[in-house]
Amino acid sequence: MTALCLIVESGADVRLVEGLAERFDLSIIARRIEGGLEINHPPAQRVPLVIGPASRSGFARFVWKHLREHGREFDYVIVQGYGLAALAANVAGLLRRTRTSMLVCSPVEAYYLCRKAVGVQGKSFRRRELFAIRVLARLNALIGQQYIVLSRYLASVVRQHGARGPIALIPVYGVDTSIFKPATESKSVLRARLGLPATGALIFFSSRIAPEKDGETLLEAVRILLERGRDIWLLHRSGGYEGFLKDAERFGVAHRVIATDAVHPHLQLPEDYQACDLCVQASRAEGLGFSPLEALACEVPVIATAIGGLSETIIDGQTGWTYPAGDARVLASLIEVVLGGPQEATRRAAAGREMVRAVYERRIVFEKLESLTLAKSLLKPERAIASRKAEG
């Protein structure tokens, strides 16, 4: 089994960790997340986890030292993003001749620029930080061996950095359509079990609270709809739910917002989708967007902004509805269209599920990743012999 090291600078999703642990001899090096979790939920499998310093510069030094001392233990290294930790891993990979890929899930510069458009407490915009992000992106493009990206849009982003190595399009961690699937119970039964309102339309929004996710436009749309007399509720699940509730109070819609911490992605999240009438992804920038894919897998209709990776999955007239980012009035009108046309909503959601099953199914994407790590393997001779003996 291939020995894989995953380097996590900004927290990891348990679905990625569990998928890798099923197929690789996995170890994780993670930056300490003060007040948060290095992995958002405990993985089902035991995975060796080494936690480094909380500062990004300190973590990069930690990664460099760890790979210099233990790099021979790994056949393949995947490092999150294209920041300081990626630079340390890429340099160590060149020196140790260890295959190293950058896993790019987000357009970091685009996310950072959203701080200028949407004011969120603690997320100030500084030109020197944007400059540093761009310099690191360029340096990693010059020395990096390979990229793994979630979407064609992200592939274009890293090409703009000057990427020299190959770019693999693998939307890990994908969607497990055996779990995210159409409901077998009525919405009323699901809502009763989950403690959700029995009446009114329920809209789901599960994005974290960040400038690029633009929860404010959705809250403004909800206010418009409530002023029109619509009976609607907004369900929100994320680690930043308390901030979202404060924003809801500011918009005067808190009485129609149900917000809690993030739930386990496999144990409760599918039922949240199934209980809702609609999912909205309001992002001003997005690498891919898994929430719309999970909603479609449950055959729940989706409205999303026509930006970034979302443009590859939410196709207006086919798999959902799209609107210009930041336009609350258009969003409000689309919500009325979707809720008022259940037959069309069902058609587009069903087409969306077929798209997810064909392209984003969990098994498919992890098999692609496994094939990538095995291709032209740089296994050390002693490890290759041991691997063949174990398999034979």
DSSP secondary structure string, 232-263? Answer: EEEEEESTTHHHHHHHHHHTT-GGGEEEEPPP
Phi/psi zone of residue 2: left (φ > 0), alpha (ψ -120 to 50 degrees), beta? beta
Q: What pLDDT sits at residue 118? A: 63
- Assess whether 160 and 239 both reside in one domain: no
- What's the chain's average pLDDT? 93
Q: How confident is the model over 192-217, as a mean pLDDT?
A: 95
Is there a domain that residue 318 lies in? yes
For residues 79 and 62, give the distance between their C-alpha atoms in angstroms, rounded to a whole number. 13
Q: Within 10 A of 382 (CB to CB), how many other CB atoms are there?
A: 9
- Assess whether 386 and 353 both reside in one domain: no
Q: How confident is the model over 242-259, as a mean pLDDT?
A: 96
Q: How confident is the model over 278-295, as a mean pLDDT?
A: 97
Asked if the model's pLDDT at residue 392 lies above 90, the reply is: no
Q: What pLDDT sits at residue 25? A: 97
Is there a domain that residue 182 lies in? no
Q: How confident is the model over 287-303, as a mean pLDDT?
A: 98
Q: How confident is the model over 165-182, as a mean pLDDT?
A: 96
Q: What pLDDT sits at residue 374? A: 87
Asked if the model's pLDDT at residue 75 lies above 50, the reply is: yes
For residues 186 and 183, give the distance between their C-alpha atoms in angstroms, rounded to a whole number. 7
- Assess whether 192 and 260 both reside in one domain: yes
Q: What is the pTM of this model?
A: 0.92
Q: What pLDDT sits at residue 375? A: 81
- Assess whether 194 and 155 both reside in one domain: no
Q: How confident is the model over 83-95, as a mean pLDDT?
A: 96
- Assess whether 206 and 89 both reside in one domain: no
Q: What pLDDT sits at residue 123? A: 67
Is there a domain that residue 117 lies in? yes
Q: What separation in angstroms does the CA of 381 have from each of 75, 93, 384, 386, 388? A: 11, 17, 5, 9, 11
Is there a domain that residue 131 lies in? yes
- Assess whether 229 and 316 both reside in one domain: yes
Is there a domain that residue 110 lies in? yes
What percent of the chain shows pLDDT beyond 70? 94
- Assess whether 356 and 367 both reside in one domain: no
- Assess whether 315 and 371 both reside in one domain: no
Take residue 376 and report the two structure tokens written for it: 């032209």
Q: How confident is the model over 273-289, as a mean pLDDT?
A: 97
DSSP string, 295-331: HHHTT--EEEES-GGGGGT--BTTTBEEE-TT-HHHH
Q: What pLDDT sits at residue 119? A: 53
More confidently predicted of 381 and 346: 346
Is there a domain that residue 180 lies in? no
Asked if the model's pLDDT at residue 109 lies above 70, the reply is: yes
Q: How confident is the model over 197-209, as a mean pLDDT?
A: 95
Q: Within 10 A of 374 (CB to CB), how many other CB atoms are there?
A: 12
Q: Convert the pLDDT of each residue in 307-365 to its tens digit.
A: 999 999 999 999 999 999 999 999 999 999 999 999 999 999 999 999 999 999 999 99
- Assess whether 95 and 148 both reside in one domain: yes
Residue 164 banded pLDDT, cuts 50, 70, 90: confident
CATH number at residue 280: 3.40.50.2000
- Assess whether 256 and 290 both reside in one domain: yes
Cis peptide before 173 (omega within 30 of 0): yes
Is there a domain that residue 375 lies in? yes
Long-range own/partner contacts, residues 376-383 (CB < 8 A, 24 or more apart): 377/2, 377/75, 377/99, 378/75, 378/97, 378/98, 378/99, 379/2, 379/75, 380/72, 380/75, 383/3, 383/75
- Assess whether 62 and 110 both reside in one domain: yes
Helix (H) or strand (E) holding 159: helix 152-161
For residues 316 and 278, give the distance between their C-alpha atoms in angstroms, rounded to a whole number. 15
- Average the pLDDT over each of 11-20, 120-129, 310-319 and give the range with the smallest value: 120-129
- Average the pLDDT over each of 102-111, 216-225, 372-381 and give the range with the smallest value: 372-381
- Assess whether 166 and 292 both reside in one domain: no
Is there a domain that residue 179 lies in? no
List the one residue out of 275, 268, 277, 246 whose CA is nearest residue 259: 246
Q: What pLDDT sits at residue 376? A: 60
Asked if the model's pLDDT at residue 129 lies above 50, the reply is: yes
Q: Residues 79, 126: contact at Cβ < 8 Å?
A: no
Give the domain range for residue 304.
187-360
User: How many residues does the structure list for the chain?
Assistant: 392
The one-character DSSP state at 357 is I
Report the number of distinct structural domains present in the chain. 2
